[in-house]
Each structure stands twice: as structure tokens, then as C-alpha cells.
Amino acid sequence: MTGFDFSGDPDRVIHEPARLKIMAVLSVVESADFMYLMRETGLTRGNLSVQLTRLKDVGYIRISKEFVGKSPRTTASMTVVGRRAFDKYRAYLTDILRATSS
């Protein structure tokens, strides 16, 4: 018996691969800009914008805009709620792997 609750659902917001990648990047830094996230996730501008908005709407990330010289810079950072959700999601995956390993 592993004690894993198979009826429980993973966090659907993070479960989506593109959003999971965004959360993975933001989990190891304070913030990352739009260009970096686009390069790391391999998403198009439009798609990344949609995924960031989705994560922002549930309160997992914070988006801020600033000017560096004359260029605008949009950065995203993980909120406390987001970090908690990401840790919970990781724990969920670890549990499911442990429960199905043998």
C-alpha cells in the first residue's frame, strides 16, 4: 500500500507543458523577462502571452513592465501562491511515480 490518492487531480493550470516550463524557470530565479521565457519555452509571442496571462489570472505569477533605457522590458516572477502550487504539483508527481514504480 502506497497511500497515494489516485482520485486526486493534479493542478490543471501547471499540468499543461508550456505553463509547467514557465513555472520551472520562474521557480529558480527571482524574475525572467518575456524574451528569456520565449526562448526557453519555445513558444511564440502570442502563445506565451496567453499562458502568462492564464498563470497571472490564478495568482501564480506577477507580471511587471519597466523601461531599460528606451526599451520596454516585461518580467514575470512567481508569487508565494505560485511557489506553493508548484511545490504541491512536484510532490504530486513524486508520489505518483513512487506509487507506480513497482
Partner 1 sequence: MNEITKTQQRTRSYWYSDGIAEIVGGVAFVLIGLPLYAAARTGIEMLSTLPLISMILLFPLSARVVRYLKDRITHQRTGYVKYSRPPMSRQRKALIFSILIAISVAIIVISKSNWTLNGMLGKSILLGMGFGIAGTFAVRVWKMQMPRFFIDAATASGLVLALGFVGAGFIEGVGLLLSVLGVISAVIGMIVLCSYIRRHPKVPVETA
Query: What residues line the site for partner 1 (CB under 8 A)?
Result: 20-21, 24-25, 27-40, 45, 49, 52, 65, 68, 71-75
Q: How far apart are CA 66 and CA 47, in angstroms?
A: 21
Which lies closer to partner 1 via its Cβ, residue 7 or residue 71?
71
Alpha-carbon radius of gyration of the chain = 16
Kindly state the smallest distance separating residue 80's Cβ from partner 1, in Å. Answer: 13
Q: How far apart are CA 53 and CA 27, in angstroms?
A: 17
Kindly state the smallest distance separating residue 1's Cβ from partner 1, in Å. Answer: 28
Which lies closer to partner 1 via its Cβ, residue 21 or residue 54?
21
Kindly state the smallest distance separating residue 60's Cβ from partner 1, in Å. Answer: 16
Residue 99 backbone dihedrals phi, psi, to 5 degrees: -70, -25
CA 74 to chain CA centroid, Å, is: 16
